[in-house]
Structure 1
Amino acid sequence: MQDFRKLLVWEKSHNLTLSIYNLTHSFPKEEMYGLTSQIRRASSSVPINIAEGCGRGSDADFARFLQIAFGSVSETEYLLLLCFELGYFSEKNYMEMTYLVQEIKKMLAKLIATIRK
């Protein structure tokens, strides 16, 4: 068992979630139970699964939760694209969030590979 707060990938995914919560405050009210909720849940699932995996008893369990986190960050990546194309935030915001998503995906992939060795 390890402290998830010490993992850089957890910190970056937590910051992504905070940024998405801030960005979605300005989304149209009719999206409250649609895209706003969906992108918030997808992004928060990433650090949640990293934290849960850290609390598991084996490397195999940890790797499984990291794989779930990878799926959630991929979902977030698509939802960012959809929200951008719907005009819900600027290109600058989209590019910043997409860059962070790509960083997290690379870090998760590397961590998963390391654990599975």
Structure 2
Amino acid sequence: MSVPLNIAEGSGKPAIADRARFYAIARGSAMECGSLLDVCRVAGFVPSADAEDAKTLLARIVAMLTRMCRG
């Protein structure tokens, strides 16, 4: 929930620096999701193939947020 909420909050900020700060927080949260996927995979809660698919999508999200942080 943190990723989309921080993107939404940041997009409502008029100052570029404020937007970038919220996008950076969203980026950090997306990185945490990658770690959670690893934990869930190792614990057997998520099949390896599904975890890898999700991590591929997360990598794209992180890349987009990285560009958004730069303004």
TM range (shorter): over 0.9
Counterpart of 1:65? 22
- Higher relative contact order, chain-length normalized (CA < 8 Å, sep 6+): 2
Secondary structure of the 1:109 match is helix
Counterpart pick for 2:44 among 83, 87, 101: 87
Q: TM-score, normalised by structure 1?
A: 0.59
Which consecutive residues of structure 1, in runs of 5 or more, have no partner in the other structure? 1-43
Q: CA RMSD in A?
A: 0.7
Matches within 5 A, 1:29-108: 44-108=1-65
Which consecutive residues of structure 2, in runs of 5 or more, have no partner in the other structure? none
Q: CA deviation at 1:112?
A: 1.2
Secondary structure of the 2:40 match is helix
Q: CA deviation at 1:89?
A: 1.1
Larger Rg: 1
Which aligned segments of 4 or more residues in structure 1 are displaced greater than 4 angstroms? none
